[in-house]
Amino acid sequence: MPTPTDLLYRAYERRLRRSIDPRLVPRHVGIVLDGHRRYARQFGLSSYTDAYRAGMSRFEEFVSWTTDPEINVITAWVLSTENLTRPASELDPYFDVLVELFHRLPDLCRRDGLSLRFIGSFDRLPERLVTAARRAEEQSGDGHRHLNIAMGYGGRQEIVDAVRDLVQGLADQGVPADQLADHINSDTVEANLYIPELPDPDVLIRTSGESRLSGFLLWQSAYAEFVFVDVFWPAFRRVDFLRAIRDYVRRDRRFGR
């Protein structure tokens, strides 16, 4: 039976949802799932694995939240290139939990009308993780909405990879070395990003109280709005998400004008 606190929470959640004008909802939301280890320490969990599992369960809930209000594109950062410097004792359990998540994602994506893409540099990732990601992509189908998972991802590395692919493509076309610079501009670099056809993010959300992006969608976020949330990712609630969307729709986006 719901407690008085539960009833108040649900009432507040409904009020938040009604305050959001559906015409102003962002098309593309980026989110940084930060704070698993600090969550484990704060709540005295027996291992980081428990926090990772709580976080991935919350991620599945989060995806369902994006159906109302409907968000067309979600990009979630689950693993950075910097994270890969952590000891194996921390990384291996997280990889295991991600593999578990990827096995469940196809059903989730089909339920919520999502296509699934993974972005990042996979050459440093364990084979079991990459295999699970590729299988999830293949099994998720072609939804009208898009879920992108950034894994082994770094914003600077994405730009380096884009420029490298651009230059290699120009060389393959026979463009002389002394003319390469004439073909490098913002449009051609952007065309070689991991998923160039998607719109730039409108709002980027980071949990755990950190007020920085750490390179997330570095190229694409030039005019994104930022929302920093104090709670650790496993404790992120739908009201936190709705507050972030409400704050976004209230802002006057001037795009540098």
* Active site members: 34, 83
What six digits make up the tokens of 91?
């990384």
Half-sphere exposure at residue 134, Cβ-oriented, CA atoms within 13 angstroms: 8
What six digits make up the tokens of 248?
């976004």
What's the CA gap between 190 and 181, in Å, rounded?
Answer: 15
Closest listed residue to residue 198, CA positions, set 44, 68, 28 = 28
Give the β-pairing of 203-206 and 145-153: unpaired
| Cα end-to-end span (Å), the chain | 52
Place of tokens 């590395």: 157
Give the β-pairing of 114-119 and 28-32: unpaired
What's the CA gap between 226 and 205, in Å, rounded?
Answer: 6
Could you tell me which residues come within 8 angstroms of residue 53 by beta carbon, excluding any fewer than 6 positions away?
Answer: 97, 100
